[in-house]
Amino acid sequence: MPQPKDTAKGGHFKGFTNRQCEFFPCHGGIDPNEFNCLFCYCPLAFLECPGPYEVFTDANGLKRKDCSGCALNHNGIDRSWRFIQRWLEKPVKWTGLPQTERRMKSAMPVDHPRVGSKL
């Protein structure tokens, strides 16, 4: 049985741009007309992903991702939608390890600010 997202015709559900947001644009280097705010809080924050993140330890001693250097979930309405859908198909819990170039490259193909592959 097809999912509703597969039967929708217009694709407007894939994202939006909130130009009134106090933080817009929260990530640089993206065309403001293509900025996708749908994934303001990335659904991959607790999952393995190819994004360029740093790891920090919070006040409770837990390892967390700092994804402020990643724009993969914001860069283009259709492109960011496909990126998130791909990584939610087979989610893998984040191990707490820092990101590496090797891991980012092995996770492609997606538009990636550091690696430069294509979706």
pLDDT digits (tens, 9 = 90+) for 41-60: 899 999 999 999 999 999 99
> Nearest 5 degrees, angle CA 89-CA 92-CA 98?
130
- Between CA 25 and CA 3 the distance in angstroms is 31
Q: Are 48 and 95 in contact (CB under 8 A)?
A: yes
pLDDT digits (tens, 9 = 90+) for 77-88: 999 999 999 999
- Between CA 42 and CA 17 the distance in angstroms is 15
Q: What is the pTM of this model?
A: 0.73
